[in-house]
Structures are given as C-alpha cells and as structure tokens.
Amino acid sequence: MTGKADHEERRRQIAEALLRIADTEGLQSASMRAVATEAGVSLRLVQYYFTTKEGLLLDALARLGAQLQARMERWIGEARAPRAVVTAVLSCVLPTDAESRRITRTYAAYYTLVLNDPEVLAKQAAQPPAVLEGFLAKQLRAAREAGEIAPERDVEMAAAGLLAMVNGLGSSVLGGQRDGEQALAILRHHLDELFGGPGAG
C-alpha cells in the first residue's frame, strides 16, 4: 500500500487548502470543488478523505487551533517572567504579521459559522478561550505576588478584560479600522498601566 503517511499527508494538504481559501475568500467560498481545485486534487478525493463537508470543516478547524497554539508557544519561547509571558500570549494573537493575520482572519471566518451551529463545533470552539483566560489569570496572580501588580487588583477581571480587548482589537484591524502596530500599541499601553509602568521589551 501507499502507506499511512501519504494518507495523513493528503488530509493535511486538503485541509490546508480549505484554510487558505477561508483566509483569502472566506468560508462561504470554500466549496468542496473550490477546495479540491486549490489542493490540486479531484473533487472525489476530497470526498474520499473527509466523506462530508462538516468533517472537513472540523478537521481544518482543529489544525488551525494547533497552528495558533504552536505560534503561542513559539512566542512565549523561553520567557518565564509572568509579564513577558502575558505580553507574548496577548500580542501574538493580534494581526501584526502575515501568519497572525492569516490565523485571525480564518478564525473570524469560522466565528459566524459557530454562532448558528449548536452542534459539536460550538463546543469545540468555546473551550480554548476559557482555558486561555485561566492561564492568563494565573500568570497575573504570580506577577501580583511578585509585586509587579498592585495587590488590590483583581486578576481574573484583568485577564478577562485583556483577552476581550485583544479580541476586539483584532476585529478592528481586520475591519481596516486600524493597523496592527496601532493595535499592539494600545495593548502595550494597557499592559503598562496594569503593571507598574513600561517594562522590558
């Protein structure tokens, strides 16, 4: 046989074709045929490897999530100081470079889909933000105990607010209202306000 590596490779190839289309033209343009053409395979193959369109959408979403997580870990790097970690996590989801623009746009394309699908999709997509928020709160608490944040500050509230803010900032960048650098500046400003003042890069 051709080996299971080829099988998974084909799936990856097709799913990434979907993500590419979702990024550039939106999910509504990601028909089975369009995905097949983009991936350079026949329509039948897309059907063969994913059976149904919902399966393809779900698989691609999972891959997108993995890509975002990989980007986060890359941005966190060897940072151990809570403030550096928080800054990395928040700023890496802002559409500032090509990769983040791609990921953000593609997530936005899925967003509308999730809103009107009480199916598995909603469950799959509502979990990551919650754990991320918990992670941020933990980091902020550590920073507070280290004296970098005023003791009276509520870290859960701050974490929720910051996460919502980068989400909204991302939307404004995608909507063409402002530029990625400006969004980053706004985020940095609020981080400076939360922590004592301007911190190291």
Q: Which amino acid is at 15?
A: A
Among a copy of itself, DNA, none, the one that 41 touches (CB under a kind-dependent 5 to 8 A) is DNA
Binding of a copy of itself by 119 (CB under 8 A): no
Binding of DNA by 42 (CB under 7 A): yes
Determine which residue in the list 40, 129, 196, 198 makes contact with a copy of itself, applying CB under 8 A: 129
Backbone angles phi, psi at 34, to 5 degrees: -65, -40
Number of residues that bind a copy of itself (CB under 8 A): 40
Q: With CB under 8 A as the contact rule, which of the stretches 40-48, 49-57, 58-66, 101-109 interacts with a copy of itself?
A: 101-109
Q: Which is nearer to DNA, 53 or 71 (CB)?
A: 53
By CB under 7 A, the residues from 54 to 73 that bind DNA are 54
Q: Which residues bind a copy of itself (CB under 8 A)?
A: 25-29, 105, 108-109, 111-112, 114-116, 122, 125-126, 129-130, 154, 157, 160-161, 163-169, 171-172, 174-178, 185-186, 189-190
Q: Which residues bind DNA (CB under 7 A)?
A: 1-2, 6-7, 10, 29-34, 41-45, 47-48, 51-54
